[in-house]
Amino acid sequence: MVVITPAAEFTNMYRNASLAAELSERQVQVVDSRTATAGQGLVVLAAAEASRAANLDDAVAAAEEAATRVELVACLETLEYLRQSGRVPALAVSLADHLGVRPVFRLRAGMAERLALPRSEEGAISRIAREWRAGGGPTAQCTAVFHAARPERAAELSGRLRGVSFVAEFSPAMAIHTGPGVVGVAWLRAIDDEPEL
């Protein structure tokens, strides 16, 4: 059995799954996807594809390899839900809300990086699309658009990107941490495509 978790930097799931694997009587391999949400889903899909034609070790290798190529860029409608988690200071949330910014961020290799602070939904969607194009999106192995209760924004983003493999909505467990209004894209870069740093 292969268990694929969000990046260890974002949650305790990797540690907990590793402890559970040690206690299991079955053979269990735990892989850190180095990302989250739809990016993690793409790593899972790569492992599932490999497991159909091979064995557990090949599925683990496919997941680990995919984790080195997965990209995710998204925007938040508000920082309020992150403030409630204690990860963003209240002063920053107040300022962001006052300015009407829609923070755009990237998840890559277990790191979250702020990319821009556009002041409109249009600006945020444009920045996400630009990052996808610059980051190998057009030649990606797989692309997933995702959202939290904003199907119309996800449809707009999908239309701009073209070649989207699927659109997925956040689970309630994820939306609790981000709130509604998140929209973004995750993609699996082509094998020979190195990310821009």
CATH 3.40.50.10440 placement within the chain: 2-67
Beta bridge partners of residue 114, listed in sequence order: 105
What is the homologous superfamily of the domain 2-67 according to CATH? Dihydroxyacetone kinase; domain 1 (3.40.50.10440)
Grouping H, G, I as helix, E, B as strand and the rest as coil, residue 185 is: strand
Instruction: Return per-residue pLDDT of the chain as tens, 197 residues.
Output: 899 999 999 889 999 999 999 999 999 999 999 999 999 999 999 999 988 876 888 999 999 999 999 999 999 886 665 555 555 545 454 555 655 678 899 999 999 898 998 989 999 999 999 999 999 999 999 999 999 999 999 999 999 998 899 999 987 777 666 778 899 999 999 988 776 65
Second CATH level (architecture) for the domain 70-188: 2-Layer Sandwich (3.30)
Q: What is the pLDDT of residue 77?
A: 82
Q: What is the pLDDT of residue 197?
A: 56
Query: pLDDT, tens digit, for every residue of 131-167?
Result: 999 999 999 999 999 999 999 999 999 999 988 999 9
Q: What is the pLDDT of residue 175?
A: 66
pTM of the model: 0.87
Cα separation of 188 and 60, whole Å?
A: 16
CATH 3.30.1180.10 placement within the chain: 70-188
Cα separation of 26 and 176, whole Å?
A: 33
**At 168, which amino acid appears?**
A
Q: What is the CA radius of gyration of the chain?
A: 17
Q: Which segments of the chain are extended strands (E)?
A: 2-5, 29-32, 70-75, 104-108, 111-116, 142-147, 166-169, 183-188
